[in-house]
Amino acid sequence: MTTGASEVRDRPDPLDEDLGWMLGIVFRGYVRAAEHALTDFPGGPRGYQVLTAAINAPARNQGAIAEELGIDRTVLTYVIDDLERPGYVARRADPGDRRSRLVDVTDAGRAAWEQRRRALRQVESHLLAALTPAESATLRALLQRVACSAQAVDPLRDLCEVVAQVQPDPATPPPSRTATTPEPGRRAPVARARRRGTD
């Protein structure tokens, strides 16, 4: 009979419905191509991200950029150093807080960013080649919504809370055994009742 074989072929692959697997495949493909496009860019892909953040919101301090991108402040300092050497950014004291430094993008930095942005657009077009322009626009809009939601609320923290709720509390002692509760593998003791008048 061919019915069973046909059902097996028609049965969807579990991986096809796994969000993590799908996101991982797309992400790894994008990262490989993006790293190639940004190989000689100061700071690499992270330097490009920092420059993008500085362009989208000019004159922000380093702490705000680090928080937005999820980068350690010490690491961010080194990345900005890399961007400052070729003259892509310039740091200046924050008038409102002398302990803070504002990051300004220079004309050279904007020109370099535009050039690399065109290269990354080609990477994105190649990655989304299986979609129509309308589907590509819809995917971008949906991903933007998901990304903004994930950035507003830490999903890892929420998932950890869910896992913690279903796991047993290690501090809670196991239930104590009583005389009427036999241990695994043992029979419960049979109580012998005394008959009155035989003592």
Contact 94, 63 (CB under 8 A): no
Q: Which domains does the chain have, with CATH numbers?
A: 14-156 (1.10.10.10)
> What pLDDT does 132 receive?
96
d(CA 119, CA 33) in angstroms, rounded, equals 10
Q: How many CB atoms lie within 10 A of CB 62?
A: 21
Q: How far apart are CA 86 and CA 106, in angstroms?
A: 10
Residues 67-82, mean pLDDT to the nearest whole number: 93
Average pLDDT over residues 46-58: 93
Helix axes 73-84, 44-56, angle to 10 degrees: 90
10-24, 127-141, 163-177: least confidently modelled range? 163-177
pLDDT band at 46 (very low <50, low <70, confident <90, very high): very high
d(CA 60, CA 103): 6
CA angle 188, 193, 195 (to 5 degrees): 165
- Estimate the crossing angle of helix 73-84 against helix 62-69, to 10 degrees: 110
Instruction: Measure the CA angle with vertex 132, ends 126 and 133; round to 5°.
Output: 85
Report whether pLDDT(106) > 90: yes
Residues sharing a CB contact under 8 Å with residue 188, sequence separation 6 or more, in sequence order = 180, 182
